[in-house]
Chains A and B, each alone.
Chain A
């Protein structure tokens, strides 16, 4: 998998957020994007995740141009090739843990029987196999984020996008969750883009970028 972003522009009325962002990510690569609040990190992530349409520029995944896809096709790519982990977990309270994890299998149209096995495996790998039938409301923040991680990785996405994945967690839990995220992404072969304020988290990535004045700047890495 190779993600290539070229000259991406995105502006809101009176404010240009992305001013020609270009980026290339190889298969299995982990990229951290840092930046001050309001610099457009989430906007870039939403554009990469096909949730937001850029004003200009291209995003291609394995040579397929994604910005020109019709909404239905974009939703399909989102379901099959891109996984999301949000700061606020965004789990569905109507459904239990296992059903939440399986939701991406349903959106991607994957067979439920095999997906159920994979969901169980993923939950086991994050230590939540015993909580498969639990309601979301009974889980702690760290557990919820691990469920969200399983949900994102269930369809084996080529690209995993994480927006402040540990932003709502205490440092100890955050470290565990981040470790599991990177481990699972690696075993899955997914490329990872993490948007974060946290330098410690960014240090875990193989590559660090900073979004400043609408452009990405490479940072030196210690990892």
Chain B
């Protein structure tokens, strides 16, 4: 193919072509790296949101009377098409006061109670091991608690010991354990607190605190563990408590004539189920407003999406600057090769082949430079990740971005979009000199040299 033969040769032999290639490479590498990080933040945000949100949530309006939590009601919700798991929850504000030895007036802190059933919530995928007992972010000098000092979910170490003793008590009559056993204690209930709430207030795991809920119910609890979703507002406020305790604090306990109430239910969707349609079905089934996790975190997700999109537009604008370089290089190339083009047209090359040669050279430069830019962009992201993860060199201040690692997205669509954009814009820029080359009059050239 004549166009390919000529175009590739001109591209290879022209020094200026390397300049165009470099411009293309850099203006693909930069967006790949920048949008890779921006999308990485979005991905981290989504992951963090999913740590505290279920797929779909039904929640009564704030301050309402609550929804009845009955076995039949739960079964009805679980029967909705696409529901894999369901878990009730109670949410209310409370005040917590740590009991600090030697201090009569301990500070009182506001917190948000999230009353849950541990096993049901775990079935939702919310309480993944990765978010339990995490390293605190705001106070790196405070190490996570050692496993023996932590509880197990809502079980305090004392309760855990009690259970062992209970097992031993059962085993003693059977002759498995020696008797007599020590007397049973009555340890306090355990709760799991947000890591920043805890470490930021100087409270530690194992400490006993007083909780006063919206229903003016006082309850003494022991902190068994910390939780870190990655979302500061959650980690600075949330205290996970057993559902009955949450109901007591919120004033949602049942009576002999009524069932205990809850604020709402969280749902896990079956694999492959579209969340929006599941929310609509739950809406119809329950008569309550159902929202997907994305709808509940819409402001946060949308703001980052807008940032990413604006950044993408800025990057596209930068690519158009590279296009000027491409245009200049190819215009120069056509001017330099004017004689050869005239000769080629003179010996029978078709104008289309001449234009095609330059267009092909442009495509090769744009796609080749783009692929190179992809490699450089991802190389930079990999280096940034290694630097932050392995060597603690932070690209972004973690107290601002609340993430110790450089968030990175390896989504190949990002580089492909920018390579595609570069190819389209670059082709547009090359088209002008290519058409100019095809319109060269061979007679004029041959007369010039004869």
Contacts and interface: CB of A to CB of B under 8 A. Distances in A.
A107 B2 contact: yes
A36 interface: no
Contact of A84 (B339, B347, B349): B347
A86 B13 contact: no
Contacts of A52: 443
Interface string A90-133: 10111100000001101110000000000000000000000000
A72 interface: yes
B187 interface: no
Interface stretch (A13-21, A74-82, A171-179, A201-209): A74-82
B167 interface: no
B444 to A, nearest CB: 10
B450 interface: yes
A156 interface: no
Interface string B146-167: 0000000000000000000000
B143 to A, nearest CB: 68
Contact of A75 (B343, B350, B443): B350
B389 interface: no
A77 B5 CA distance: 21
Q: How large is the interface on B (under 10, 10 to 19, 20 to 34, 35 or more residues)?
A: 20 to 34
B9 A76 contact: no
B348 interface: yes
A106 B449 contact: no
A29 interface: no
A110 to B, nearest CB: 11
Contact of A76 (B2, B339, B348): B348
B10 A94 contact: yes
A164 interface: yes
Interface string B332-353: 0000000110011111111111
A75 B354 CA distance: 12
Interface in B330-376: 339-340, 343-353
Given A51-B443, A94-B13, A79 B348 contact: yes
A80 B350 CA distance: 12
Contacts of A51: 346, 442-443, 446
Contacts of A86: 446, 449-450
Contacts, number: 71
Interface string A182-195: 00000000000000
A75 B449 contact: no
Given A86-B450, A88-B450, A90-B449, A151 B347 contact: yes
B347 A107 contact: yes
B446 A75 contact: no
B224 to A, nearest CB: 77
A94 B9 contact: yes
A113 B346 CA distance: 24
A79 B343 CA distance: 12
Given A72-B350, A94-B9, A95-B9, A46 B344 contact: no
B13 A103 contact: no
Given A52-B443, A94-B340, A95-B9, A78 B450 contact: no
A76 B450 contact: no
Contacts of B344: 92, 103, 107
A180 interface: no
Contact of A90 (B2, B346, B353): B346
B186 interface: no
Given A51-B443, A94-B340, A87 B450 contact: yes
Nearest to B340: A92
Given A94-B9, A107-B2, A46 B446 contact: yes
B447 A75 contact: no
Contacts of B343: 90, 92
B340 A42 contact: no
Contacts of B352: 72
Contacts of B450: 42, 86-88, 163-164
A93 B341 CA distance: 12
Given A94-B10, A94-B13, A95-B9, A78 B347 contact: yes
A190 to B, nearest CB: 15
Interface in B435-450: 442-443, 446-447, 449-450
A88 B449 contact: yes
A141 to B, nearest CB: 14
A129 B345 CA distance: 27
B215 to A, nearest CB: 88
A106 B351 contact: no
21 contacts: A42-B450, A51-B442, A51-B446, A75-B345, A75-B348, A78-B348, A82-B348, A84-B347, A86-B450, A88-B449, A88-B450, A90-B343, A90-B449, A92-B340, A94-B10, A95-B9, A104-B348, A106-B2, A107-B2, A107-B344, A107-B349
Given A92-B340, A103-B347, 16 more contacts: A42-B450, A46-B443, A46-B446, A51-B443, A75-B349, A75-B350, A75-B351, A79-B348, A84-B346, A90-B339, A90-B449, A103-B344, A107-B2, A107-B347, A107-B350, A152-B347
Closest 5 CB pairs of A and B: A79-B348, A107-B348, A78-B348, A88-B449, A90-B343
